Amino acid sequence: MIRVIFVDDHAMVRAGYRASLAKVADIDVVGEAGNGEDGVKLARELKPQVVLMDLHLPGISGLEAAARIHQHDAECKVIALTGHNESPFPRKFIEAGAAGYVTKDCPVEELVQAIRTVAAGGRFISQHIAQAMALDAMTGAASSPFDLLTKREIEIVVALAQGEDMPTIGKRLHVTAKTIASHKYNVFKKLEVDSDVALAHLALQHGLIEASRKKPR
């Protein structure tokens, strides 16, 4: 039996996936969480074989949560479950130690296949996403300006774009506000933006955040 937990801040989404997977004999949904911090804690407590992780979460992003889960237990496999497929997230997510990447509109059969594949030690990326990644690698093209950023810089971009201030981000990531400011300077330089508003607009345009998560300033 493959033990699975969901991490998604939409209760209706979690309920839908739970209902779909309840019909699969070899998969057992043992828990769910509504944010990244709780997802990391739950993974440590319940020790599932697979974590289905939304990327756009309140607090730490799915990218950071996946990295923390992988660092604590490399045997726990994380699959990104997201509404976006055209962003720097597929490559960054795999670099963070995740084993799979599928979109939320994928058929249940594909999700089941992804769970079984990563639980068995393999890697699963939806075909159209894998093809896009392979094409970018062959041509050397950057599909998004955010491909220029490190995983930590991506995490900070998401937080800034969602309206968090630097002291709050620093406290959550266990670094100083000065360190966050240094990362922010590097991000602005790489992306050629000059304000938080411009950064948020670019992040929204390339799928790093959802419009519903951008907080008014």
pLDDT tens digit sequence for 152-180: 888 888 888 888 899 988 888 888 989 99
Overall number of domains in the chain: 2
Residue 135 in this model has a pLDDT that exceeds 60: no
- Report which of residues 84 and 1 the model is more confident about: 1
Nearest to 76 by CA among 155, 7, 5, 1: 5
SS3 15: helix
Residue that finishes a domain, picked among 90, 118, 137: 137
| Span 137-158, average pLDDT | 73
Highest mean pLDDT among 39-48, 80-89, 95-104: 39-48
Residue that finishes a domain, picked among 137, 160, 179: 137
Mean pLDDT check: name the lowest of 6-20, 31-45, 75-89, 183-197: 75-89
The reply to whether 61 and 8 lie within a common domain is: yes
Helix axis angle, 151-161 to 166-173, nearest 10°: 140
Would you state the pLDDT for residue 202?
85
Would you state the pLDDT for residue 150?
84
- Report which of residues 185 and 61 the model is more confident about: 185
Residue 70 in this model has a pLDDT that exceeds 90: no
Could you tell me the CATH number of the domain that includes residue 19? Answer: 3.40.50.2300
Would you state the pLDDT for residue 85?
55
The reply to whether 47 and 102 lie within a common domain is: yes
The reply to whether 9 and 80 lie within a common domain is: yes
Has this prediction a pTM greater than 0.75? no
Would you state the pLDDT for residue 59?
78
* Average model confidence (pLDDT) across the chain: 84
Number of H helices and number of E strands within the chain?
Answer: 10, 6
Q: What is the dihedral of CA 45, 47, 31, 104, to 10 degrees?
A: 130
The reply to whether 110 and 201 lie within a common domain is: no
The reply to whether 153 and 122 lie within a common domain is: no
Residue that finishes a domain, picked among 106, 121, 137: 137
Instruction: Place 39 in a pLDDT band, splitting at 50, 70 and 90.
Output: very high
The reply to whether 132 and 165 lie within a common domain is: no
The reply to whether 128 and 154 lie within a common domain is: no
Could you tell me the CATH number of the domain that includes residue 196? Answer: 1.10.10.10
The reply to whether 61 and 131 lie within a common domain is: yes
Residue 216 in this model has a pLDDT that exceeds 50: no
The reply to whether 164 and 60 lie within a common domain is: no
What tokens does 193 get? 């933006």
Q: Contact, 198 vs 187, CB < 8 A?
A: no
Would you state the pLDDT for residue 46?
96
The reply to whether 155 and 206 lie within a common domain is: yes
The reply to whether 124 and 183 lie within a common domain is: no
Would you state the pLDDT for residue 24?
94
Residue 194: which domain range?
145-213
Q: Contact, 56 vs 210, CB < 8 A?
A: yes
| Span 109-119, average pLDDT | 94
The reply to whether 12 and 75 lie within a common domain is: yes
